[in-house]
Chain A
Amino acid sequence: MYNAKAVITGIIVFTVLCTAPFWVGLAGKDYKSTGIVLPKDEKKCIESVEFMRKDHMRLLNEWRDEALRGENRVYTAEDGKKWSISLQNTCLKCHSNYKEFCDKCHTANSVYPYCWTCHILPGESK
């Protein structure tokens, strides 16, 4: 092998970088569940669990557009029930524990939504 010193250094750097996810995984904490705490007094959200889990951000975005740009404050869910379009009064009524609900998945997945540049963080208003 020619230039063995440089080549072997390169191979070692390459291997370490490529296996980094495994080292980081082994060195850091494991992540076995989201650990979110669901609201106690309400069992059903405005849409199905599957829909809310993957599409709640889209719903919130549409709600913002509807309320602020379309001046429409009524949302009709899949099951026909009507809801008032309001983060503060509808969503946060049940999901009042920001740290144990929103933050659990968001922080773990590095999601930092900009809801709170306009809205007041629940639990910090008083």
Chain B
Amino acid sequence: MLLSLLLVLLIGAVAWAGSAAGFAPLFGVALPYLATAVFICGMIWRMVYWAKSPVPFRIPTTGGQEQSLAFIRQAKIDCPSTRAGVFARMVLEILLFRSLFRNTQADVRAHLPASNGPGTIYYSSKWLWCFALMFHYCFLLVFLRHFRFFAEPVPAWITCLETLDGIMQIGAPRFFMTGAILLVALLFLLGRRLFNQRLRCISLANDYFPLWLLIGIVGTGICLRYFDKTEIAMVKVFIMSITHFSPVSTQGIAPLFFVHVTLVCTLLLYSPFSKLTHMAGVFFSPTRNLANNSRQKRHINPWNPPKQYFTYAEYENEYRDAMAEAGLPLEKAPDKAAE
């Protein structure tokens, strides 16, 4: 946990010191190009790798009654047997995180009225679902809002998003709700790993690192907008020059901006090789995207070796004489088989 925090701080410090010492083009120009290329190629490599892995059998996780007799009602989304059912399941999974919604928590209680003694109870726990949903949607909105620096003129839908996001009209620059919710949700996701003993036990550096990294990105972003500002007109000129492949001077842009950019680039570089690939992985997960139709269709493993059959007729042909000698019953007597 501390190690990944230190790593994020180190990356930030290197970017800060580097851009303050005059190496801003390195962090602001070279690194973003590299990170974008690595991210796109890395993700494609991941997807091809997954697509090459055969999934011969149906292994969906089922959350309801599978298709059975006509009078037994099937859970069409939780245990789909058709493509339409799988589609509905995937859409709900990707847009609403349906499987997280079913998250339960187990607790050992000293006294349960049901058993009149100690026992384990399971209860619905929606916190993870709630904050995960908040995090992902706010992240998406924040990501989309950044397009104002990449497009000239700014598309109307971005302005519309910003109007909704800043509808509270607090302060100037206007307070955007998504940024704050994003930070709160990230702190929840971190806190849950720190304060839940069971989760803390199974949390590794590669769980903490993306969280700290995202907190770093959101923190520097909020800082750049509300506290230690840099002039966004200049930032837009700079970003547009990058997307036109003719980078301009980084003069006059605050080092904090390059810390923000460097952390985002770290995220891009890190994504294809970490758990953050769930962005593409959710589409490839066979426990979600397969129809549970094992009862209707026979799925044969394609790389099974060819079977060595030895039928009874062949067996009798092989051992007929010996069997006749031992007096065993035969389908064909030796004299008839010779004909």
Partners in one complex: yes
Taking Cβ atoms with an 8 Å cutoff, the residues of A that contact B are: 1-4, 7, 10-11, 14-15, 18-19, 21-22, 24-26, 28-34, 53-55, 57-58, 60-61, 105, 107-114
CB–CB B150/A19 < 8 A: no
Contacting residues, chain B, for A21 (C-beta < 8 A)? 147, 150-151, 243
CB–CB A111/B152 < 8 A: no
A54-B229 contact given A7-B47, A28-B152, A109-B148, CB 8 Å threshold: yes
CB–CB A15/B51 < 8 A: no
CB–CB A108/B233 < 8 A: yes
Chain B 139-174 per-residue mask, 1 if CB under 8 angstroms from chain A, else 0? 000000001111111100011001100000101111
Contacting residues, chain A, for B36 (C-beta < 8 A)? 18-19
CB–CB B51/A110 < 8 A: no
Can you name the residue of chain B whose Cβ is closest to the Cβ of A35?
B233
CB–CB B172/A25 < 8 A: no
Q: Which 6 A-B pairs have the closest CB atoms?
A: A25-B243, A57-B172, A110-B148, A110-B154, A61-B172, A21-B150
B225-253 interface (Cβ within 8 A of A): 229-233, 236-237, 240-241, 243-244, 248
CB–CB A15/B40 < 8 A: yes
Say if the beta carbon of B305 comes within 8 Å of chain A. Answer: no
A3-B51 contact given A14-B43, A31-B152, CB 8 Å threshold: yes
CB–CB B162/A110 < 8 A: yes
Q: Dominant SS at the B interface?
A: helix
Highest count of chain A CB atoms <10 Å: which of B148, B153, B233: B233
A109-B240 contact given A15-B44, A30-B152, CB 8 Å threshold: no
Can you name the residue of chain A whose Cβ is closest to the Cβ of B48?
A1
Contacting residues, chain A, for B52 (C-beta < 8 A)? 1-2
A30-B283 contact given A108-B154, A112-B163, CB 8 Å threshold: no
In the bound complex, CA of A114 to CA of B283 (Å): 43
Contacting residues, chain A, for B232 (C-beta < 8 A)? 105, 109, 111
- Shortest distance in angstroms between B282's beta carbon and chain A's nearest beta carbon? 11
In the bound complex, CA of A11 to CA of B45 (Å): 10
CB–CB A109/B150 < 8 A: no
Can you name the residue of chain B whose Cβ is closest to the Cβ of A27?
B151
CB–CB A29/B147 < 8 A: no
- Shortest distance in angstroms between A117's beta carbon and chain B's nearest beta carbon? 9
In the bound complex, CA of A91 to CA of B78 (Å): 62
- Shortest distance in angstroms between A12's beta carbon and chain B's nearest beta carbon? 10
Highest count of chain B CB atoms <10 Å: which of A1, A34, A53, A108: A108
In the bound complex, CA of A110 to CA of B152 (Å): 10
Contacting residues, chain A, for B306 (C-beta < 8 A)? none
